[in-house]
């Protein structure tokens, strides 16, 4: 599935215009209020942004991965909280359903996700299961035509906005490993589910994460994703592989914006009687960032293309996620350095972006988890 090239180019131009004319001017208000304005969310719906990755048969745009990365790169040239509004619906919240859902499950949710009528969230992380995702403790025990879910999910992005949750829970409590986990597509309005207040965070103000608490929440048996028990962890891993490419384009998008801010400042700011950009030590910082950005864009595009041809990309996705998110950290750090004292002041955007990009190296698998995935895959290719 993919959009034809001409329609895709028009979409990309429309998103770039939206970023320039609507999102960038709204950045300060989002920072101050910790909310993305509803009228902007409505415009995102009208642009089709919620349905980027949902197949056309269910009302989405059906972009392939390379195209999705292209749009996300554009969108992320404004504060990352705007992308976060659509992020889970385009990515990890919906893709388990797209990949493995039954027809009835897809019909139930995908058309409404595609229009942005509802959003989705991905409920994997728990208080005691972060990097070690396979150790999750939430249980879903079969009882007649229902499953009874108990447990707590943590830092769940957009749970407060969600109309559908993809929930990983252990259906076989005697099996402590990956194969004891199943996935469910759950209505958050189900009695016994509580969405806690939003967490207070270092950055990305306007994004919403919260705990999701399940207390004897009874869900119909037909919410079991794909109708098969024991597949939930594998589905989550496949969803995360894809999500790591999406996040790589988030990282390159915001990196491009940060570098633009640094370059503009280097051209405008004068010291010792000339623009600081004329000094070679400042040029060195700009040059390192430019090379980081270019490398990250190329590798993300290459891995996304390979994904679209059906190639197995867990190792490449981990390489992209590790490199682009670490690069975003380096680029933001140099942008602050180029701004000097001004870079520490909230008045300048780079102070905010520096805090915002710190999250990239943590969520959807820390840098250390990406290293582990890369290393394991390298050894597997030798040892079999
Ligand atoms: N695709 C499909 N299956 C996969 C897979 C992938 N990318 N990666 C692992 N699996 C399978 C393995 O083949 C193995 O299958 P078997 O049960 O048949 O043996 C099973 O999953 C368990 O894999 P593994 O033994 O590698 O699991 P570990 O618990 O050692 O670790 C990591 C797996 C660390 C890679 C995983 O837990 C992980 O990605 N953690 C980070 C979680 C994360 O990103 N959290 C963010 C939350 S969402 S914001």
What tens digit of pLDDT does each residue of 94-128 get? 999 999 999 999 999 999 999 999 999 999 999 99
Task: Find the 238 Cα to ligand 1 centroid distance in Å.
Answer: 9
Alpha helices in the chain (DSSP H): 5-18, 24-33, 38-46, 65-75, 80-90, 92-100, 103-115, 232-268, 280-308, 314-339, 349-358, 367-383
Looking from the CA of 141 toward its CB, the CA atoms found within 13 Å total 10
- pLDDT for res 164: 98
- 129 band by pLDDT with thresholds 50, 70 and 90: very high
Closest residue CA from atom 47 of ligand 1 = 364
Alpha carbons within 13 angstroms on the beta-carbon side of residue 299 total: 25
pLDDT at 115: 98
Give CA–CA dist 55/43, Å, rounded.
21
CB–CB of 116/44 below 8 Å? Answer: yes
pLDDT at 174 over 80: yes
* CA–centroid distance, residue 237 to ligand 1 (Å): 6
* pLDDT of 52 strictly over 90: yes
CB 52 within 8 A of CB 68: yes
pLDDT of 167 reads: 98
**pLDDT digits 0-9 by tens, 59-69:** 999 999 999 99
Fold classified for 234-383: Butyryl-CoA Dehydrogenase, subunit A; domain 3 (1.20.140)
Range 132-139, long-range pairs (CB < 8 A, 24+ positions): 133/168, 133/233, 133/236, 134/177, 134/178, 134/181, 134/233, 135/176, 136/168, 136/169, 136/170, 136/181, 137/170, 138/167, 138/168, 138/169, 138/170, 138/214, 139/169, 139/170, 139/171, 139/173
121 CA to centre of ligand 1 in angstroms: 19
Say how many C-beta atoms besides its own lie within 10 A of residue 381's C-beta. Answer: 9
Which of 2.40.110.10, 2.60.120.1060, 3.30.450.40, 3.90.1150.10 is the CATH number of 120-230?
A: 2.40.110.10
Q: Are the C-beta atoms of 97 and 106 separated by less than 8 Å? A: yes
Ligand 1 pocket, residue 364 CB under 6 Å: yes
Any catalytic annotation for residue 46?
A: no
Q: Which helix (H) or strand (E) segment is 2 a member of?
A: none
User: What number of residues does the chain have?
Assistant: 384
> At 251, is the pLDDT very low, low, confident or very high (cuts 50, 70, 90)?
very high
Residue 2 has pLDDT above 90, yes or no: no
Domains of the chain by residue range: 5-115, 120-230, 234-383
Determine the distance separating the centroid of ligand 1 and the alpha carbon of 291, expressed in angstroms: 32
Tens of pLDDT, residue by residue over 147-166, are 999 999 999 999 999 999 99
Digit-coded pLDDT (tens) for 186-235: 999 999 999 999 999 999 999 999 999 999 999 999 999 999 999 999 99
CB 332 within 8 A of CB 339: no
Strand, coil or helix: what is 147? strand
Q: How many CA atoms lie within 13 A of 172 on its CB side?
A: 16
Does residue 320 register a pLDDT over 80? Answer: yes
Contact 152, 126 (CB under 8 A): yes
23 vs 349: CA distance, rounded Å = 14
CB distance 373 to ligand 1 below 6 Å: yes
287, 278 Cβ separation under 8 angstroms: no
Which ligand 1 atom is the nearest neighbour of the CA of 132? Answer: 37
d(CA 59, CA 3): 13
Q: Is the pLDDT of residue 1 over 80?
A: no
Say if ligand 1 is within 6 A of residue 179 CB: yes
- The confidence score (pLDDT) of residue 229 equals 98
Q: What is the CATH number of domain 5-115?
A: 1.10.540.10
pTM (two decimals): 0.97
pLDDT at 384: 79
């Amino acid at each position: 599935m993919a959009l034809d090239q001409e329609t895709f180019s028009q979409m990309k131009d429309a998103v770039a215009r939206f970023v320039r004319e609507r999102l960038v001017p709204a950045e300060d208000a989002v920072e101050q209020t910790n909310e993305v304005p509803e009228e902007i969310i409505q415009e995102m719906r009208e642009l089709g942004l919620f349905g980027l990755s949902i197949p056309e048969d269910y009302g989405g745009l059906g972009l392939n991965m390379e195209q999705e990365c292209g749009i996300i790169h554009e969108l992320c040239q404004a504060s990352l909280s705007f992308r976060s509004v659509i992020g889970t619906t385009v990515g990890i919240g919906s893709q388990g359903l797209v990949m493995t859902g039954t027809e009835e499950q897809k019909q139930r949710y995908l058309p409404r996700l595609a229009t942005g009528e509802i959003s989705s969230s991905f409920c994997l992380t728990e208080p005691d299961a972060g990097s070690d995702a396979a150790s999750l403790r939430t249980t879903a025990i079969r009882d007649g035509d229902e499953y009874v879910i108990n447990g707590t999910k943590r830092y769940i992005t957009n749970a407060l906005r969600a109309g559908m949750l993809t929930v990983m829970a252990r259906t076989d409590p005697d099996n402590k490993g990956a194969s004891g986990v199943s996935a469910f597509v759950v209505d958050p309005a189900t009695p016994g589910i509580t969405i806690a207040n939003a967490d207070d965070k270092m950055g990305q103000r306007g994004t919403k994460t919260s705990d999701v608490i399940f207390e004897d929440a009874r869900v119909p048996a037909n919410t079991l994703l794909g109708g098969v028990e024991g597949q939930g962890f594998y589905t989550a891993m496949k969803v995360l592989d894809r999500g790591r490419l999406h996040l790589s384009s988030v990282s390159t998008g915001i990196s491009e914006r940060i570098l633009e801010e640094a370059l503009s400042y280097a051209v405008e700011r004068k010291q010792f009687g000339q623009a600081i950009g004329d000094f070679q030590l400042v040029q060195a910082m700009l040059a390192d960032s430019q090379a980081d950005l270019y490398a990250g864009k190329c590798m993300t595009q290459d891995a996304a293309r390979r994904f679209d041809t059906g190639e197995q990309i867990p190792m490449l996705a981990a390489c992209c996620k590790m490199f682009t998110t670490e690069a975003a950290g380096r680029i933001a750090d140099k942008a602050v350095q180029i701004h000097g004292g001004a870079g520490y002041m909230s008045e300048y955007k780079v102070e905010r972006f520096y805090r915002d990009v710190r999250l990239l190296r943590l969520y959807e698998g820390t840098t250390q988890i990406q290293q582990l995935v890369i290393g394991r895959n390298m050894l597997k290719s030798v040892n079999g």
